[in-house]
Amino acid sequence: MSSILTPDRVRIHSGSATQEEALQEAAGLLVAAGAVTPAYLDAMRQREQTVSTFMGNGLAIPHGTNEAKDEILASALCVIRYDGGVDWAGDPVTFVIGIAGRGDEHLEILSQIAITFSEEDDVARLAAAATEEELYGLLSAVND
């Protein structure tokens, strides 16, 4: 399996964003990676209408609905940090991790992310990363 997270899909923004802007950016990075079709953004929006992808600890993991599996071309991940935060349907989010998983691969990817974000020290290190390269280095274990 090729790397699901690459340095070009890691972003740090000093400001804030709306939930819609964050969804658009995450979907755009996944489209640019060749992982999903442009229709995947609508599937991400539909997922949020059904159930919020807010995970706690400042993390949201937007992804498409099960009906959108055909829109996924390859497993991939993007990581966007908004230092100004995102109001995620009433919950405070700093990290938006867009995910696309072929078959059941997303479950393994999700468990890796959940482990990383369950430790407050790890989240603090991710929040303190000064550059996108440093942030990528801290998260590149998802490729193992």
The catalytic site residues sit at 63
b or e along 83-118 (b: 16 or more beta carbons within 10 Å of the residue's beta carbon)? eeebebeeeebbbbbbbbbeeebbeebbebbeebbe
Q: CA 43 to CA 5: how far, in whole Å?
A: 21
> Looking at the chain, which runs of residues are DSSP E strands?
10-13, 16-17, 54-56, 59-60, 76-88, 91-100
Phi, psi of 16 (to 5 degrees): -110, 175
